[in-house]
Structure 1
Amino acid sequence: MFFKPKKLLSWLALLASFTNLFLSSWIILPAPNMFLLTLAVGAPEVSPWLFLLNLLCLLLSFFSIRRRKIRRLACTASLIGLLICGWVLVNIPFTQMQMDKAMKQELGANYLEKIPVQLSAKMQTHPFNLVNSFRGIALGKTRHQKDIIFANPAGVPLKMEVYQPPEVGKYPAAIVIYAGAWQRGNPSANAEFNQYIAHQGYTVFAIAYRHAPKYQFPSQLDDVRTALNFIRKHAAEYEADPERIVLLGRSAGAHLAMLAAYQPDAPPIRAVVSYYGPVNLTEGYKTPPSPDPINSRAVLRAFLGGSLEELPNQYRIASPINYLTHPLPPTLLIYGSRDHLVQARFGRQMYERLHDSGNTAIFLEIPWAEHAFDAVFNGVSNQLALYHTERFLAWALGIGNGA
C-alpha cells in the first residue's frame, strides 16, 4: 500500500514541524545528559536557522495538510517553535545594550578612543549580524604553524600551535587555553577563533597541558606557566611582544588562564578573558548544577585527586577566587545564564570580588546561552562575545605605554 503524494506531503510536513519543535525546545529545556547537552548548546546559537525552518514548516503545514486536526497540530508545533526561537532573537538588542553598558561602566564611556588604530581597524562593526549567522564570519588570511614542542614534562611532549597575521611584524601575544574538563582537548580546538584573532593583529599561541586524571593539579597550572615562560623567551621568533601578553580560556582553560595570571609571581599579563570558567571549586563541589550532565563532582575529583572532604586545601588553592589579594590584570568574564556545567552565578561572584578588591573586571551574561556557546563560531552568542572580547583586549593593550 502506497501513500498518495498529497497524503505523504502532509505526513512529512507534520514530521518536520515536530522535529523542528524538538530541536527548538532545547533553547529552553535543561539537558540531563551529555548527548542532549549538545542540542542545548547548539539550538540557541542556530536560532535564526531554526526560526526560518519553523516558519517554512508553518507555511507548508497550513497549505499542504488538508485534515483539519492534523493541520492544527502541525501549525501549533511550528508556532511554538517560532515563539521559542523568537525569544532569542528579540532579546539580542536588549542583551547587547546590557553588555555595552557593562563595558562602559567599567572601562569608561570613551574607552573605545583608547584602542590602537591598528587593532580597531579590523574589528566587527556590529555586535550581531544576521547575515553572518547564515554565511559565517570572515576569518581572513593568517600564517599557521603546528606541532611546536615547548616542554616535555614527565616525558609528555607539550605542543602548541601558532597563528600569525599575514604580514611580518611585531604583535601582541594572545595565549589561548582549550576546554575539556582538564581531561581532554588539544591546541587545534577553536581554530576559527584563533585564526580570527590572529587576523585582527595578534600572534596567537594555542597551548597544550597535561590531562587529568593521570596528571592532577597543579600539573596543568605548571604547564601553562611553562608555556608563558617559553613564549616570553622565544617571542621574537614568533613576532610577538613579550610585554603585551593576554590570556584567554574556555571552561577548564579559562580556569587555568585566571589561575596563571593571578599568581603573585606571574609575569606581566595585560588582560585575562574567561569564557564560562570555574572560579570557586569549593563551592562548585558543594552545590553542583541541576541537572548535572557532566557529573561535576566526579570531574573535580579526577582533577584534584579526591573529594572536597578529603582535600579541602587543594580545592582552595585551585580556586582563582582565592587569589584576589593583590593587583590583577583586567578580567573579562562571559557566561551563559543557562549554563549547567559552570553556573553563571560563579562568574558574577568573581566579578563582584574582583570589583570589591579594586581590580578592573567586566561581567557579561547571555540569557539564552549554555556552556560552550561559542562552539558555533557564527552563532548568536559567539557574535556578541567576540564583539566585546576584541574590544576589551584592544582596550587593555591600548592603555599605558604599550600601544
Structure 2
Amino acid sequence: MFLKPTIFLSSLALLLSFASLFLSSWIILPAPNMFLLRLGVAAPEISPGLFLLNLFSLLLSFICIHHPQLQRLACIVSLIGLLTCGWVLVNIAPTQAQMAKAMTQGLGTDYLKRIPVKVSAKMQTHAFSLVHAFRGIPLGKIRHQTNILFATPAGVSLTMEVYQPPEVGKYPAVVVIYGGAWQRGNPSADPEFNQYIANQGYTVFAIDYRHAPQYRFPAQLDDVRTALDFIRQHAAEYEADPERMVLLGRSAGAHLAMLAAYQPDALPIRAVVSYYGPVNLPEGYKTPPSPDPINVRAVLKAFIGGSLEELPNQYQIASPINYLTHPVPPTLLVYGSRDHLVEARFGRQMYKALLQSGNTAVFLTIPWAEHAFDAVFSGVSNQLALYHTERFLAWALFDQ
C-alpha cells in the first residue's frame, strides 16, 4: 500500500530538514571519534552546498507540510541549519581580511610587489569563489611521474612522485610530506594540490617515509633528509632548482618538514609551510585535546616509542619548537581554530617563538576549520589557505 503524495512529500520534507541540520551541526559540534571527525572536517568546507540544502528543506517544509506543529518544527530545524552554515559564509570575508593582514605583517607590506608579474598572473585572483566551491578549482595540465625509488632503509622501499609543469624548463622545488599520525599515508596523497602547484610553475616532489610504530623516531626524519639529498643530486633530471626549495607538510608531515628545515646542518631551504603541524610534543602529550578523537597520547607513544615519562629527551628532540636557537627558514603556519587533533594554540605558540628568535613567520587561522580541512580541495577553508600559500611560495622562491 502506497503513501498518498501529500503524506509522502510531508514526510520527505520533515526527514530532509533533520538530515540537513544533522550534517550542518558538525560545523560547530566537536567530533568525539574518528568516524564523526570526517563529518567535522567536511561540513564547514561544503557549507555553501549545505546552505542551499537547508534552504531547499525550508521551502519544502513550508510548502508540503500542512500540519501546523510539524511545519513549525521542520521550519525551525531548517532555519537552525541555515544559520549554522551562514556563520561560515558571513565570516569568509573578515577571515580573508585577517589573513591578508597577517601576510603583510609577516612578509612586509610590499611583498606582493616583489613577486614577478608572470608568476602572480597565474595565481588565483580571489581568495574564495562560489564557482570553485561547486565546480572545483581548475588544476591545469602537468607532467606526472610515480614510483621513483629514492632509498631502501632497512629493506623498506621508499618512493616519491614528481609533478612538473607542462613545459620543459627549470623550476623551483616544492617538497610535499603527507600526514597520517606518522603511521599511515603515501606519496599519492593530495594529488589535486600537487597538480595545482605544479601547474603554477613548480616541480613538486611528494615523498615517502617509514611509519610508526614499526619504525620509531628519528627514522621518519632520516627518511625525509635522505629524500632531500636525493632531490638535490637528481635535481637537473627533474628540472628542479636545488637552490630554490620549500618544504610543505600536513600534520605529521608538517612536523617533519619543520624538523628537517630547522636542523643546524640542514640543506639550504628557502621556506617551510606547515599545515596544522605538531610543534611541542611534550605539551601535546601533557594536554591532549578534548574531545580527543585520535588518542593523541597513543599516537605519540607509537611515534616516539614510549610515554613522555619514559622518554622525555626524545620528546624534546622531536619538537620543532626547540630548534630556534639559530636562524631558520621563513615559516607559514596554517591552523584551524576548531582543530581537535593539533590545536591552533600550538601554531600560535610556534609563531610567537619564531618571532621572538628573530625569524620570519606568518600565522593564519581559519575560525571554522577542523584538522585536515584541505582534504576537501575546493572547500571554503582550502580556497583561503591555497590563496595565501601560493603567494607565500612565490614570495619565497621568486622574490625579485
Q: Quick one: distance in 1 between partners of 2:397 and 2:179?
A: 25
How far residue 397 of structure 1 moved from its aligned partner, in angstroms, is 1.3
Q: What is the aligned partner in structure 1 of residue 207 from structure 2?
A: 207
Within 5 A, what are the aligned runs for 1:131-210?
131-210=131-210
Give yes or no for the alignment of 1:243 onto 2:243: yes
Consecutive unaligned residues in structure 1, runs of 5 or more? none
**1:48 aligned partner, one-letter code:** P
How far residue 118 of structure 1 moved from its aligned partner, in angstroms, is 3.3
SS at 2:335 equivalent = strand
Within 5 A, what are the aligned runs for 1:2-401?
2-399=2-399
SS at 2:329 equivalent = coil
Q: Quick one: distance in 2 between partners of 1:57 and 1:222?
A: 53
SS at 2:66 equivalent = coil
How far residue 275 of structure 1 moved from its aligned partner, in angstroms, is 0.2
Q: Quick one: distance in 2 between partners of 1:199 and 1:43?
A: 29
**2:103 aligned partner, one-letter code:** M
Deviation readout 1:214-254 (Å, 9 max, x if unpaired): 00000000000000000000000000000000000000000
SS at 1:210 equivalent = coil
How far residue 398 of structure 1 moved from its aligned partner, in angstroms, is 2.7
CA RMSD of aligned residues (A): 0.6
Q: Is the 8 A contact 1:47 1:85 kept in 2?
A: yes
Q: Quick one: distance in 2 between partners of 1:139 and 1:192?
A: 7
Q: Is the 8 A contact 1:149 1:160 kept in 2?
A: yes
**1:348 aligned partner, one-letter code:** R
TM-score, normalised to structure 1, is: 0.99
Q: Is the 8 A contact 1:118 1:201 kept in 2?
A: no
SS at 1:299 equivalent = helix
Deviation readout 1:280-321 (Å, 9 max, x if unpaired): 000000000000000000000000000000000000000000
The total of aligned residue pairs comes to: 400
How far residue 119 of structure 1 moved from its aligned partner, in angstroms, is 2.1
SS at 1:212 equivalent = coil
Q: Quick one: distance in 1 between partners of 2:2 and 2:130?
A: 42
Q: Quick one: distance in 1 between partners of 2:379 and 2:358?
A: 34
Consecutive unaligned residues in structure 2, runs of 5 or more? none
How high is the sequence identity, in percent, across the aligned residues?
80
How far residue 117 of structure 1 moved from its aligned partner, in angstroms, is 2.8
Q: Quick one: distance in 1 between partners of 2:391 and 2:94?
A: 19
**2:315 aligned partner, one-letter code:** Y
Q: Quick one: distance in 2 between partners of 1:179 and 1:343?
A: 15
Q: Quick one: distance in 2 between partners of 1:118 and 1:324?
A: 35
